[in-house]
Amino acid sequence: MHMKKYFTLIILSFLSISLFSQNVEDGLRIQVGLPFAKYGKFDKNFKNGSETQYPSLLIQADKPWRDGFRLGAYIGFAGQKNKSSLSEYGNVTYNYYRLGGVVSYDLNDLLEAINISPEFGVDLYASLKTGFSLEHIKVDQGITNKDNNILFDFGILIGGRYNISDNIDVFTELGYGNAGFVTFGLAFKM
């Protein structure tokens, strides 16, 4: 079972790398975002003790693929630490190192076709993300115990970008797929 997970992770990594090893063409975009409002596996919601959330980060690169679609890859990090008030539990740290692929669809053409045109120069899009998270768990109870698990990532997002200069956009994404329900960041056009 574990061998299948590792094999799938390796295949996904090679596909992501091969996507960007091709000649760089117009339209390559790099997005750097900070996800907020963590959910599910990224928020353990410890009950006893003090919880520290580490800042999450998501970096995504994509380029035009087919009419209205963009194809890309992402890497990311999310984590948290709990200092338990119960001495037998000690400190528990969860870190998630993420890797996956993304396909996005430009919604502006679709909205314009049904006479709903976004105002103020905002580009709207929908994204589907799939990939893996390496969950690294560290438990300090006098002795340090570590465990690693590979988890499947899947998410659907709605986003919007607003151009602030020739090569820089601000963006926000809402939905399930970035380790947080809301992501804010900058997009750089190459």
The answer as to whether 30 is a domain residue is: no
CATH number for the domain spanning 94: value is 2.40.160
How close are the terminal C-alpha atoms of the chain, in Å? Answer: 40
pLDDT at position 61 over 70: yes
- Looking at residue 177, the DSSP 8-state letter turns out to be S
Please state, in angstroms and rounded to a whole number, the distance separating the CA atoms of residues 5 and 150. 7
Domain count, the chain: 1
pLDDT at 108: 82
- 28 domain residue, yes or no: no
Q: What is the DSSP string of 150-170?
A: EEEEEEEEEEEEEESSSSEEE
User: Amino acid identity, residue 142?
Assistant: G
**What pLDDT is stored for residue 179 in this prediction?**
87
Secondary structure percentages of the chain, helix, strand, coil, to 5:
15, 60, 25
Max mean pLDDT among 29-43, 61-75, 103-117, 133-147 falls in 61-75
Q: Which of 17-21, 53-57, 159-163 has the lowest mean pLDDT?
A: 17-21
Q: Quick one: pLDDT at residue 113?
A: 66
Which pLDDT band holds residue 117 (cuts at 50, 70, 90)?
low
The predicted model scores a pTM of 0.78
What is the predicted pLDDT for the residue at 24?
Answer: 40
DSSP letters, 90-142, are -EEEEEEEEEEEEEEEE-HHHHHHTT-PPSTTEEEEEEEEEEEEEEEEEEESS
Q: How far apart (Å, rounded) are the C-alpha atoms in residues 46 and 11?
A: 35
Domain membership of residue 98 as a residue range: 2-23+37-189
C-alpha–C-alpha distance, residues 35 and 184, integer Å: 7
Residue 31 pLDDT? 95
